[in-house]
Structure 1
Amino acid sequence: MIDDYAFGRITIEGRVYTKDVLLLPGEEVHSPWWRREGHSLDPADLEALLEDPPETLVIGTGFYGNMDVPEKTLKALRDKGVEPRVARTTQAVEELNRLMRTSARIAAALHLTC
């Protein structure tokens, strides 16, 4: 579960992260999580996640929503049976916490800043 999120900072299970995070099912956190192109999410950026795809991937596009999620990325997720949910990171964190109460096969890719 996400304890708290503010611009550039997220707390997961009591641990603070200041770099973008990829949260895999089972609450395994990869941080810093880097993308090929800083403000665009490419399918290759999700390789670790797609090795054992979750049911749902919550994508946080940043505090102001500046990270782009191209259609090719959404298609790659759907082709693997993953339901993408895209929102600004504040709303994505709320959605993630809600979903984690009902399913263990939830993952998240969260951009923490812009």
Structure 2
Amino acid sequence: MGCLSDYSFGHIKVGGCTYRHDLIVFEEEILSPWIRQEGHCLHVEDLKWAIAHHPRVIVVGTGAFGGLTIPQETVNSLAAQVITLVAYKTGKAVEAYNELVEKGERVACCLHLTC
């Protein structure tokens, strides 16, 4: 998959295509729109699609201002499945994802594109 680029509030490019809804990226696959059961709270159920691809790492973009919260229960559930969760505001998450892909990591990226 092409790298993630040109993120700004409400949109991002993935492999040259622009997306305007929250999304999950794993290798050549994209889930968009990515709809969570609670818009600004990340539950493990919201990550089912990513988890099904057996990533070693899930990078979460919490929004331009960090509006998406991640309960400890979600972190613990992923750790029990031997999946590392890293979360940053979305701009930094895009950079982290691209770096991990470049290193050959098996990584999924879940991005909240707005707040």
TM-score interval for Structure 1 and Structure 2 normalised by the shorter chain:
over 0.9
Query: What residue ranges of structure 2 are gaps of 5+ in the alignment?
Result: none
Give the match's secondary structure for 1:49.
helix
Moved over 3 A (4+): none
- Show the 5 A alignment for 1:1-114: 1-24=3-26, 26-114=27-115
TM-score by length of structure 1 reads 0.95
Pairwise CA distance, 1:104: 4.4
CA contact (8 A) 1:53 1:80 kept: no
Query: What residue ranges of structure 1 are gaps of 5+ in the alignment?
Result: none
Provide the rounded CA distance (Å) in 1 between the counterparts of 2:28 and 2:88: 20
Pairwise CA distance, 1:48: 1.3
CA contact (8 A) 1:20 1:112 kept: yes
RMSD of the alignment, in Å? 0.9
CA contact (8 A) 2:5 2:94 kept: no
Cα shift readout 1:50-79 (whole Å, capped 9, x = no counterpart): 223201110000000010011111111111
- Amino-acid identity (%): 37
Pairwise CA distance, 1:3: 2.1
Cα shift readout 1:23-61 (whole Å, capped 9, x = no counterpart): 12x231100000000000011001112223201110000
Provide the rounded CA distance (Å) in 2 between the counterparts of 1:2 and 1:77: 24
TM-score by length of structure 2 reads 0.94
